[in-house]
Amino acid sequence: MVDLDPFGSPSAYIDCLLRSVTKGGMISITATDTAVLCGVHPQVCMRKYYGKPLNNHYARETALRLIISLTALIAARLDLVVHPIFVHANLHYLRAYLTVSVSRSEANSVFKDIGYLRDCMKCGNRNAIAEYNKGEPCELCRSTYRIAGYLWITRLFDKDFVKKMSYLLDTDDVVVAQMGGLNKILFTCIDELDDIPFYFLSDEIASRLRTNPNPLQKIIEKLHSIGYRASRTSLDPNGFKTDARIDKILDLLK
């Protein structure tokens, strides 16, 4: 395993990182340029990560997906393939873990995992698309979407890997105890719908409905009860992921 943990952006070192790892090995990438990746300086983000960020309440997930797509594209150039196995966001840094293997044929398919997010600031609608159609307005309110990407739009976790981490975690260990909540984060990752590249916040829904936030568990159970997929997200304790569109969520919780 090779760990890249520079001061600031890792983007200048990812070629070297990929060239230095043993094939079949693992890499980890830390980014502390969170302001850039979370949309405070979009032009710098485009230059360093080849994708537009979003400056909103799920920016941390968008940021991690920008790091992974940059890594996947550089890997493809080197006839390598990367697969994300774990990501997390903590304090002022973001971190992604990926496996690296050699496969020209898989590298040819790198764009099947890379696309765009569309986010409507007005009505809260959001979705992922493979191809960017600039002229297409929000299907709910006809406003212009904000666009993020391109970025990684498929899975973030190898669930078996995360399960093994949770089994191995010694909660009596002093260091682990100091990182309070680590086990809870791992369990959340195991159930997380990581194929959905964004999340909603209970506060955000409450604000749109002008009511108090529902407990997350209640929101998730309600979504399940009418046939939608729903889970918590490890990236925000107040966040939930679902394949239900914002209008369906608001109807359900009003």
The residues binding Zn ion (CB under 5 A) are 120, 122-123, 125, 138, 140-141, 143
Closest to 144 (Cα-Cα) out of 152, 133, 129, 159? 133
Residue number, 84 or 124, with CB nearest to Zn ion: 124
Nearer to Zn ion, 25 or 137 (CB): 137
Least gap, CB of 138 to Zn ion (angstroms): 3
The DSSP secondary-structure symbol of 225 reads H
Q: Least CB distance from residue 153 to Zn ion, whole Å?
A: 20
Residue whose CB is less far from Zn ion, 141 or 250: 141
- In whole angstroms, give the CA distance from residue 56 to residue 35: 12
Whether 217 contacts 224, CB under 8 Å: no
Q: Taking the complex as a whole, how short is the minimal distance between the CB of residue 205 and Zn ion, in angstroms?
A: 15
Pick between residue 146 and residue 159 the one whose CB is nearest to Zn ion. Answer: 146
Separation between Cα atoms, residue 132 and residue 12, nearest integer Å? 27
Output the six-digit token pair for 133.
């159609």
Considering the complex, what minimum distance in angstroms separates the CB of residue 156 from Zn ion?
26
Give CA–CA dist 241/221, Å, rounded: 12
Number of H helices, E strands in the chain: 11, 10
Residue closer to Zn ion by CB (options 120, 189) is: 120
- Counting Cβ atoms within 10 Å, is residue 180 exposed (0-12), middle (13-18) or buried (19+)? exposed
CB of 125 to Zn ion, least distance (A): 4
Work out whether strand 230-233 and strand 200-201 pair parallel, antiparallel, or are unpaired: unpaired
